[in-house]
């Protein structure tokens, strides 16, 4: 018995010594998994502790809710199933569970992509049983073959009655796996001279990423081509701004209330694009919510240090193209014809922010309403220069100026079609016939005085986004200065998108509206960070009950806004005095009920109500007859019930 105990003790000591040597003392060549990623990777996903990081990312209300979506459920359940299967296989779990993993996506044939998986097995490679373990995975339905490639061994596992092959390579501490043998070959070729892992542009991004979170890298040279599988030609052209970037790194984090993607991108000075212009322009304070109505579908805030320099950076983005030459020629002609200077009379009074606003409306017949807001340094300087431009237009053109007072604000008209496209280029072309009014710290431009009227009304009532406590709490998660900030209200934007999307695109979005609306606020922020451009996207999540309360709140806001234009008041059916025409040169103004029935019609003169006014109920019955003179009610007004009986007269 004593001899047995001595033998057992010796075995334990030897086993302990072997364990200590292999796992703590033995010299092992340590390769970073990124070293084995082939140079043509479109996407690289890096996880230092994949199962722990995945568990952290998915152990929350947001992921559990998203998994009720059919598509996401398939992905989530597949990964959950893989976790369970790995844990059941003790040896396999020990081998890869807490070890770094890199997954990369590559084009293997034209428009065909495959994955390469690289696992850092660390000290596990010291054991010969690891390769032998591959044999344990085989049976009568599988076959294993090996071949040499440039000094590396490729293991080929094939399956009976299946065209699929799995290829593996062991390289020091790394295990590479793919279903495409050329990716394994390319991975072996990276062994001595890795390209991505030693690229200085990649290192600039990589060293600033958070290793505690799942990280995704995009190599834009190949990522753009990867995206083009699903994009139209016009959509692909819209990605041209990515030409000035090399790599992007993104970290992912998820809690019960927020889903966050934050990261960094290179910006190359030698390639002028919009991204380059934003990066060089600096930052501006995000103040647009102070005038953006609380029924805003989305807004975009462009921030910069100085308007003049930002403008020059924009010009540089198109300087060498045909569009750039055309722009410079049009600008020169405009300045010469009107006797103005864009820099002196327009840019000089601009402060540090330009904003786009899209308003939401429940009226299915209304077009999407846009506004452009330019923050001014001082109202007097802005008014002086805009008046100068107006006067020059009056001298050089036969245009009759239309300007009206509306709720203590003056709405004016710059009658030069495409004015902002001439100044700022194609990105500002939505504002074709610029009406404008000064609202707070901004000069707000729109194609329609009616849109300006809605913004003025909400501003006067303090019913803006900045006055919404939920919005303010959400915005506190971002820095108050940025280069670019985009705010999206999915519920309102989905409703409005029917007005500018084709039927197929709208139906595709509408089918997932329940999940999109569960994120009532989405914010995207870009800001310069040295040579890099930092970016962050935050999705705020609300459960079903919270979403219902939120929707009711915004429905109330939209209805109040609509009340100004569409709904009943005690004295009359429609608050007609608060309605502005879409164009001050229109000869009449009208609106319709959701069922298409005419709601009212009135004659106009110089943008003012002047002439016969008729109002109808939703069935087409006349309920009010009257006349306007210079925007005021005149003569006798008659009011009728649904049966056509006269119920009231009023004389003005």
- Alpha-carbon distance of 611 to 631, in angstroms, equals 9
* pLDDT confidence bin for 365, thresholds 50/70/90: low
Both 524 and 642 in a single domain?
Answer: no
Both 148 and 271 in a single domain?
Answer: no
Dihedral of the alpha carbons of 540, 544, 545, 549, in degrees to the nearest 10: 60
Query: Of 13-27, 208-222, 225-239, which gets the smallest average pLDDT?
Result: 13-27
* pLDDT confidence bin for 562, thresholds 50/70/90: very low
Both 591 and 530 in a single domain?
Answer: no
Residue 163 sits at φ, ψ, to 5 deg, of -75, -10
Both 513 and 573 in a single domain?
Answer: no
Both 600 and 458 in a single domain?
Answer: no
Domain limit, last residue, from 168, 194, 222? 222
pLDDT at 193 exceeding the cut of 50: yes
CA 463 to mean position of chain CA atoms:
25
CA angle 281, 283, 288 (to 5 degrees): 115
- Alpha-carbon distance of 93 to 97, in angstroms, equals 5
pLDDT at 274 exceeding the cut of 90: no
Domain limit, last residue, from 513, 547, 581? 547
CA distances from 71 to 68, 131, 256, 466 (A): 9, 36, 21, 36
- Average pLDDT over every residue of 502-507: 83
pLDDT at 19 exceeding the cut of 60: no
- Average pLDDT over every residue of 388-393: 87
- Residue 302 parent element (H or E): strand 296-303
- Alpha-carbon distance of 444 to 431, in angstroms, equals 11
Helix or strand or coil: residue 284? strand
| Residue-level pLDDT at 360 | 84
Of 58, 118, 114, 119, residue with least CA distance to 83: 58
Q: Answer whether 432's CB lies under 8 Å from 422's CB.
A: no
Domain contains 464:
yes
- Alpha-carbon distance of 215 to 230, in angstroms, equals 24
Most confident of 20-24, 119-123, 307-311: 307-311
First to last CA, the chain: 121
Both 532 and 588 in a single domain?
Answer: no
Domain contains 3:
no
- Average pLDDT over every residue of 99-119: 92
Q: Provide the sign of the torsion angle of the four alpha carbons 302, 304, 310, 313, taken in this order.
A: negative
| Residue-level pLDDT at 16 | 44
- Alpha-carbon distance of 5 to 11, in angstroms, equals 10
Domain contains 27:
no
Neighbours of 399 (CB within 10 A): 14
Domain limit, last residue, from 162, 190, 222? 222
Q: Answer whether 214's CB lies under 8 Å from 54's CB.
A: yes
Of 585, 562, 273, residue with least CA distance to 403: 585
Domain contains 382:
yes
CA 104 to mean position of chain CA atoms:
24
Tens of pLDDT, residues 339-350? 999 999 999 999
| Residue-level pLDDT at 98 | 72
In the chain, the percentage of residues whose pLDDT exceeds 70 is: 79
- Average pLDDT over every residue of 410-426: 74
Query: Of 75-84, 210-219, 232-241, which gets the smallest average pLDDT?
Result: 75-84
Tens of pLDDT, residues 118-168? 988 876 555 455 666 665 666 677 788 889 999 899 999 888 888 888 899
- Give pTM, 2 decimals: 0.80
DSSP string, 363-411: -TTSPPEEEEEEEES-HHHHHHHHHHHHHHHHHHS-PPP--EEETTEEE
Tens of pLDDT, residues 453-466? 999 999 999 999 99
- Alpha-carbon distance of 47 to 98, in angstroms, equals 10
Domain contains 10:
no
pLDDT at 626 exceeding the cut of 60: yes
Query: Of 209-213, 237-241, 525-529, which gets the smallest average pLDDT?
Result: 237-241
Angle separating helix axes 50-58 and 70-88, nearest 10 degrees: 140
Residues in contact with 635: Cβ distance below 8 Å, sequence separation at least 6, in sequence order: 626, 627, 651, 652
Query: Of 28-37, 287-296, 312-321, 433-442, which gets the smallest average pLDDT?
Result: 312-321
Query: 3-state DSSP helix/strand/coil percent for the chain, to nearest 5?
Result: 40, 30, 30
Of 361, 331, 636, residue with least CA distance to 499: 361
Q: Answer whether 265's CB lies under 8 Å from 206's CB.
A: no
Both 444 and 510 in a single domain?
Answer: yes
Angle separating helix axes 307-318 and 274-281, nearest 10 degrees: 160
Of 576, 580, 337, 550, residue with least CA distance to 454: 580
Both 382 and 476 in a single domain?
Answer: yes
- Residue 506 parent element (H or E): helix 503-510
Domain contains 301:
yes
Q: How many CA atoms lie within 13 A of 508 on its CB side?
A: 5
- Average pLDDT over every residue of 561-580: 48
Both 86 and 198 in a single domain?
Answer: yes
Both 487 and 376 in a single domain?
Answer: yes
Count of H-run helices and E-run strands, the chain: 22, 28
Both 534 and 397 in a single domain?
Answer: yes
Tens of pLDDT, residues 72-96? 777 667 666 666 665 665 555 666 6
| Residue-level pLDDT at 552 | 63
CA 280 to mean position of chain CA atoms:
21
Domain contains 476:
yes
CA angle 181, 187, 188 (to 5 degrees): 95
Tens of pLDDT, residues 42-68? 999 999 888 888 888 888 888 888 878
* pLDDT confidence bin for 201, thresholds 50/70/90: very high
- Alpha-carbon distance of 435 to 455, in angstroms, equals 13
- Alpha-carbon distance of 515 to 528, in angstroms, equals 32
Domain contains 305:
yes
How many folded domains does the chain comprise?
3
Both 595 and 539 in a single domain?
Answer: no
Per the structure, the complete domain to which residue 153 belongs is given by 32-222
Strand partners, 374: 354, 443
């Amino acid at each position: 018995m004593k001899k047995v105990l001595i033998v057992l003790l010796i075995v334990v000591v030897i086993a302990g010594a072997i364990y200590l040597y292999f796992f703590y003392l033995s010299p092992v060549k340590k390769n970073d998994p990124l070293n084995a990623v082939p140079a043509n990777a479109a996407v690289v996903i890096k996880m230092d502790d994949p199962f722990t990081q995945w568990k952290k990312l998915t152990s929350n209300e947001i992921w559990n809710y998203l998994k009720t979506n059919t598509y996401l459920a398939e992905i989530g359940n597949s990964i959950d199933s893989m976790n369970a299967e790995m844990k059941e296989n003790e040896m396999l779990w020990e081998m890869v569970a807490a070890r770094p993993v890199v997954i990369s996506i590559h084009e293997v044939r034209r428009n065909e992509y495959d994955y390469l998986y690289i696992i850092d097995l660390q000290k596990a490679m010291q054991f010969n049983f690891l390769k032998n373990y591959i044999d344990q995975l085989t049976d009568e339905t599988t076959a294993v073959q090996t071949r040499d490639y440039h000094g590396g061994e490729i293991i080929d596992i094939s399956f009976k009655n299946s065209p699929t092959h799995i290829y593996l390579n062991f390289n020091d501490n790394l295990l590479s796996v793919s279903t495409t043998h050329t990716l394994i070959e390319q991975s072996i070729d990276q062994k001595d001279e890795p390209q991505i892992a030693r690229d200085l542009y990649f290192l600039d991004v990589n060293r600033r990423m958070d290793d505690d979170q799942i990280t995704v890298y995009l190599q834009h040279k190949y990522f753009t081509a990867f995206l083009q599988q699903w994009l139209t030609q016009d959509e692909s052209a819209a990605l041209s701004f990515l030409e000035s970037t090399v790599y992007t790194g993104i970290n992912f984090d998820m809690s019960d209330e927020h889903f966050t993607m934050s990261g960094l991108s290179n910006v190359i000075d030698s390639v002028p694009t919009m991204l380059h212009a934003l990066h060089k322009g600096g930052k501006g304070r995000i103040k647009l919510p102070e005038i953006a109505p609380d029924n805003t579908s989305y807004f975009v805030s462009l921030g910069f240090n100085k308007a003049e320099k930002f403008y020059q950076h924009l010009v540089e983005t198109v300087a060498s193209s045909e569009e750039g030459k055309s722009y410079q020629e049009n600008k020169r002609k405009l300045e010469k014809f009107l006797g103005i200077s864009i820099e002196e009379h327009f840019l000089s009074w601009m402060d540090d922010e330009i904003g786009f606003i899209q308003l939401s409306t429940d009226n299915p017949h209304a077009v999407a309403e846009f506004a452009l807001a330019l923050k001014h340094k001082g109202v007097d300087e802005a008014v002086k220069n805009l008046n100068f431009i107006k006067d020059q237009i009056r001298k050089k053109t036969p245009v009759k100026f239309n300007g009206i007072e509306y709720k203590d604000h003056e709405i004016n008209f710059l009658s030069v079609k495409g004015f902002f496209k001439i100044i700022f280029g194609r990105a500002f072309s939505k504002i074709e016939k610029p009406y404008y009014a000064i609202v707070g710290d901004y000069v707000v431009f729109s194609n329609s005085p009616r849109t300006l009227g809605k913004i003025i009304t909400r501003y006067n009532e303090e019913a803006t986004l900045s006055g919404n406590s939920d919005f303010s709490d959400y915005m506190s998660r971002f820095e108050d200065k940025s280069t670019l900030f985009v705010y999206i209200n999915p519920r309102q934007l989905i409703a409005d998108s029917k007005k500018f999307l084709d039927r197929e695109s709208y139906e595709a979005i509408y089918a997932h509206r329940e999940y999109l609306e569960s994120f009532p606020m989405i914010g995207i922020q870009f800001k310069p960070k040295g040579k890099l451009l930092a970016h962050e996207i935050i999705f705020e999540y609300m459960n079903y009950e919270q979403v219902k309360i939120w929707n009711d709140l915004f429905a109330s806001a939209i209805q109040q806004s609509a009340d100004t234009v569409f709904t009943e008041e005690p004295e009359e059916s429609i608050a007609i005095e608060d309605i502005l025409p879409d164009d001050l040169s229109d000869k009449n103004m009208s609106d319709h009920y959701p069922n298409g029935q005419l709601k009212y019609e009135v004659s106009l003169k110089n943008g003012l109500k002047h002439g016969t006014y008729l109002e109808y109920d939703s069935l087409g019955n006349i309920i009010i007859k009257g006349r306007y003179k210079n925007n005021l009610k005149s003569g006798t007004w008659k009011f009728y019930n649904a049966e056509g009986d006269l119920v009231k007269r009023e004389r003005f």
